[in-house]
Amino acid sequence: MISIKKYNHKLQYVWDDFIEKSNNGTIFHKQTFLNYHIDRKFQNHSLLFYQKNILICVLPAALVSENKVTTLYSHPGASYGGLIYKKLNFQLSQKIIIALEKYCIKHDIAKCTLRQTPLIYHKTYSACLDYVLHLRGFVAAEHYISHYLSLNLATNPLLYLQKRKQRYIKSDFLYNDDFTFAESDQLDEFYKILKQNKKKFNTSPTHSLKELQYLLKNFNQQIKLFVSYYKHKIMGGVLLFFTTENTCLIFYNVVANNASNKNISLYQIYRCIEYCVNNAFNVLDFGVSHLPNEQNPLLPKLSLIKFKEQFGCEGAIRLVYEKIFINNE
């Protein structure tokens, strides 16, 4: 018998401790992280699943209402979410999904959307949960293409680059003392460049400046800002999320409009690879490659995919499952 308890702030330590010890939890699933939303308020409706009073699974989620349809969404404030667990078998997967369905129906929730945690963040992977979701009528409503780099092939970061890219790094940066790359607290300057970059594509940054200030203050060991300088002037920067103890995500990689060297973006990624290799990270996540402003926002951005694959990145799918329980039409 699975029982479900709705999250409240008194359970924050219990929740975050479970995420730390889970099989597929990341920084994005911690309640301390989800609290960063300053300019966007979500109705937190995270769930804890118990079997015989033992916490076995959590679902970071929020209630989202649109066109009179209430959706339990995991979680709109996180890059990915879904069900986070320590260990699952087929039977337990079934019990959890059935309990989730009954919970949604009981609380008049019309739809459930699960944005699953990518495979690269699982310590061990079991397909049972995905199979049960299909079995119970959850539909893979969205597919995103993502790329990641496995960092267990070489200790020299240059070897992860194509030879032509290696030449650019050596000739333009490694032996040029005018270029430096270092951890920085110059968030205001970085954010100006970030807004410039997003404006080119008629979009806005995922985070507000206040939200990034909160995150860097409260997760200073798991989120770091690195900046590129040319003769002590900022030319660009990278925001890294250390999502688990051995995985890292490049969240922003931006270059100033007035940057004279077109390879600064390449240089910044090289230095991220170098940092991850030197600090024993196994995976560097390059994120998704899509065209959010197109009529079909799931269309792949081919130029970005090509850029990532030049580092030896492999493709990965991010899945979003949906199931409708109540038809409000």
Cβ distance 64 to 82 under 8 Å?
A: no
| 69-74 and 139-150 strand pairing | unpaired
Q: How confident is the model at residue 98 (pLDDT cuts 50, 70, 90)?
A: very high
- Average pLDDT, integer, range 283-291: 88
* CA angle, 271 then 276 then 279, to 5°: 125
Q: How confident is the model at residue 329 (pLDDT cuts 50, 70, 90)?
A: very low
Q: What integer pLDDT is reported at residue 294 of this predicted model? A: 62
Own/partner long-range contacts of 40-45 (Cβ < 8 Å, ≥24 apart): 40/77, 42/75, 42/76, 42/77, 44/7, 45/6, 45/7, 45/72
Instruction: Name the DSSP class of 118.
Output: P
Partners of residue 136 on adjacent β-strands:
none
* Tens of pLDDT, residues 221-272: 999 999 999 998 999 999 999 999 999 999 999 999 888 778 999 999 999 9
Nearest CA among 4, 104, 107 for reference residue 53: 4
Structure tokens given for 160: 């992860």
Give first-to-last CA distance, the chain, whole Å.
33
Q: Is the confidence at residue 15, as pLDDT, over 70?
A: yes
Q: How confident is the model at residue 1 (pLDDT cuts 50, 70, 90)?
A: confident
Cα dist from 197 to 27, 225, 287, 293, 300, whole Å = 26, 17, 17, 15, 19
* Tens of pLDDT, residues 128-146: 999 999 999 999 998 889 9
